[in-house]
């Protein structure tokens, strides 16, 4: 049984990295290229999708059909497909399409595999700067231009010294924005617009908190796997599971998570 589990783990890890390689190639075909345009998924606000989003997910799905045909898939661009294995690949081909369109290197490819309880392994890949953050199955590492390093979240320090990231300053509803501001007003530094790269920075020990709302499962499952493998905590704003999306509080350690959680619910 142990050998079977070991073989499955190896296959899942190898498959995840193969998917990330595929998506890296597909997304870089169009990044910072002249003439790139985007459609909007919504009419009331600009929610962009590009040819690169669709191409990367399509190619990852094609690879899974060959490598792991019995697994389910949940992807941002082409929805959900059930599978009998009990495992589901959760794919976001470009998390941060607004950043992708703007030419900033803070978007990323999110790949995770989940069972019925949530993500068990995940990758956050930034193709342009070639950094890949890995978490799960006893792994917690980043590989990039500077080599390979272990991931470890920042140790506890006072909230007044903390760095907080979020993608949008106008986070969520008016009530959610007010809750976010209660935390933002207590930290040392707040930065916006990092998309999935902010979660990678939590795992790398660079920042203390990411607080967001209105997320989808494909936005958060890979970050959960990576951050938890690095010793961090990721929950919703009530302290419960958040792998299905919604409100997300990612923290470097339990102490600062508790401080932020209390303010969110004050």
**pLDDT tens for each residue of 218-230:** 999 999 999 999 9
Question: Does the pLDDT at position 45 exceed 90?
Answer: no
Instruction: Yes or no: say if 188 and 235 are a contact pair by the CB < 8 Å rule.
Output: no
Identify which of 74, 73, 111 has the alpha carbon closest to the alpha carbon of residue 94: 111
What pTM did the predictor assign? 0.96
Rounded (5°) CA angle 39-224-219: 10
Q: Give me the percent of the chain exceeding a pLDDT of 90.
A: 93
pLDDT at 255 over 70: yes
Q: Is the pLDDT of residue 217 over 90?
A: yes
Sequence spans of domains, the chain? 2-150, 159-264
Residue 240 confidence class, pLDDT cut points 50, 70, 90: very high
Q: State how far the alpha carbon of 86 is from the alpha carbons of 108, 119, 128, 130, in Å.
A: 26, 12, 33, 31
For the chain, what is the mean pLDDT? 96
Domain 159-264 has CATH 3.40.190.80: yes
> What pLDDT is stored for residue 47 in this prediction?
80
What is the pLDDT, as a whole number, of residue 1?
39
Dihedral over Cα of 253, 254, 259, 264: its sign: positive
What residues contact residue 18 under an 8 Å CB cut-off, 6+ apart?
63, 67
Q: Which of 12-26, 28-42, 114-128 has the lowest mean pLDDT?
A: 28-42
Tell me which CATH code domain 2-150 carries: 3.30.540.10
Q: Which two tokens stand for residue 242?
A: 């958040």
Residue 98 and residue 100: Cα distance in Å, rounded?
Answer: 5
**pLDDT given at position 110:** 98
């Amino acid at each position: 049984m142990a050998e079977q589990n070991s073989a499955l783990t190896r296959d899942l890890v190898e498959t995840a990295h193969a998917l990330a390689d595929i998506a890296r190639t597909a997304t870089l075909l169009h990044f910072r290229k002249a003439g790139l345009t985007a459609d909007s998924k919504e009419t009331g606000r600009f929610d962009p999708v590009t040819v690169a989003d669709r191409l990367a997910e399509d190619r990852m799905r094609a690879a899974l059909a060959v490598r792991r045909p019995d697994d389910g898939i949940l992807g941002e661009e082409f929805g959900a497909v059930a599978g009998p294995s009990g495992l589901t690949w959760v794919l976001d081909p470009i998390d941060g399409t607004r950043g992708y369109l703007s030419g900033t290197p803070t978007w990323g490819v999110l790949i995770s595999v989940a069972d019925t309880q949530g993500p068990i392994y995940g990758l956050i890949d930034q193709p342009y700067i070639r950094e890949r953050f890995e978490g799960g199955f006893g792994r917690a590492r980043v590989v990039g231009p500077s080599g390979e390093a272990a991931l470890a979240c920042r140790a506890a320090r006072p909230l007044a010294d903390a760095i907080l990231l979020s993608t949008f300053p106008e986070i969520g509803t008016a009530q959610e924005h007010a809750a976010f501001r209660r935390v933002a007003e207590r930290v040392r530094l707040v930065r916006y617009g990092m998309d999935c790269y902010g979660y990678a920075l939590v795992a790398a020990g660079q920042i203390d908190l990411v607080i967001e709302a209105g997320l989808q499962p494909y936005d958060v499952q890979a970050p959960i796997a990576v951050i938890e493998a690095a010793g961090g905590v990721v929950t919703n704003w009530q302290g419960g599971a958040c792998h299905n999306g919604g409100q997300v509080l990612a923290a470097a350690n339990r102490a600062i998570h508790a401080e932020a959680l209390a303010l969110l619910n004050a």
